[in-house]
Amino acid sequence: MQLELHHSSAKRHHDFGEEVGPHGVLTIPGLENSGPRHWQSAWDRLPHFTRVDFEAWSEPKLHDWVPKLDRAVRESPRNVVLVAHSLGCLALSWWAALSWSEAFREKVCGALLVAPPDVDAAETDARIRDFRPIPRVRLPFPSIVVGSRNDPYCSFSRAQDIATAWGSEFVDAGFAGHINAESPVGVWAEGLPLLARLTGHNPNLLVAELGLRTAFA
């Protein structure tokens, strides 16, 4: 799978190259959590990667998930980059809209948002409708949205529109489904260079370390 980068029509907040690191990473899963075959679970084996535990994975509520994400950010001992998948992207965007303050300016260094679902669509799973509407607020940190051309939960054009609303750069993941455990992405090593742009990691070392930890898992 080859990732193709597009610039959104919105102006970027500041250059990714200004970020220094490496930083810690908070992974933010979506509905039903990310299972053992999900790339987020593979990435969580890397040093200083920590998963946000929403506990109520099957019955997500906005008023429950946002405070838990806020607590995870505040309690992290390191500056962090947020890596969200699916409904986790909506939790992240709502957190930025509702809970952001200047106190987070140095703490949160960026976000990678993968396969955000279109919760505003008429056919959206009833379990995630509590996250309606999609916040159309620019994220206050550098961000990258990754969308798939055949995501069953969000059209490609809608993913591009979401990226523009959030002031994010947009990456075309090709035909990768929902970019989850059922997709042909495996541990999604192709996503690590995107993450490295935000965290300050050496992308080649990050990919190599993921390969080693996956082989010996």
| Helix (H/G/I), strand (E/B), else coil: 64 | helix
- In this structure, are strands 4-6 and 169-172 parallel, antiparallel, or unpaired? antiparallel
pLDDT of the residue at 5: 57
Residue 37 pLDDT class (50, 70, 90 cuts)? very high
Mean pLDDT to the nearest integer, 15-22? 46
Mean pLDDT to the nearest integer, 104-108? 95
Q: How far is it, in rounded angstroms, from Cα 190 to Cα 185?
A: 8
Q: Can you state the angle between helices 192-199 and 203-215, rounded to 10 degrees?
A: 130
Closest CA to 197 of 86, 85, 79, 112: 112
pLDDT of the residue at 2: 53
pLDDT over 80 (residue 20): no
Mean pLDDT to the nearest integer, 83-112? 97
Q: What's the fold here for domain 4-211?
A: Rossmann fold (3.40.50)
pLDDT of the residue at 12: 38
Residue 19 pLDDT class (50, 70, 90 cuts)? very low
pLDDT of the residue at 216: 85
Greater confidence (10 vs 98) lies with 98
- Express each pLDDT in 42-78 by its tens digit: 999 999 999 999 999 999 999 999 999 999 999 999 9
pLDDT over 50 (residue 199): yes
Q: How far is it, in rounded angstroms, from Cα 206 to Cα 47?
A: 10
Q: What percent of the chain lies above the pLDDT cut of 70?
A: 90
Greater confidence (50 vs 17) lies with 50
Domain boundaries, the chain: 4-211
Q: How far is it, in rounded angstroms, from Cα 95 to Cα 92?
A: 5
Q: How far is it, in rounded angstroms, from Cα 105 to Cα 73?
A: 12
pLDDT of the residue at 4: 64
Q: Which amino acid, 98? A: L
pLDDT over 80 (residue 128): yes
- Express each pLDDT in 146-159 by its tens digit: 999 999 999 999 99
- Whether residue 147 contacts residue 173, with contact meaning beta carbons closer than 8 Å, is answered with yes
Q: Tokens standing for 188?
A: 């999604």
Greater confidence (45 vs 19) lies with 45
Please list, in sequence order, all residues whose beta carbon lies within 8 angstroms of the beta carbon of residue 104, skipping any fewer than 6 positions away: 73, 140
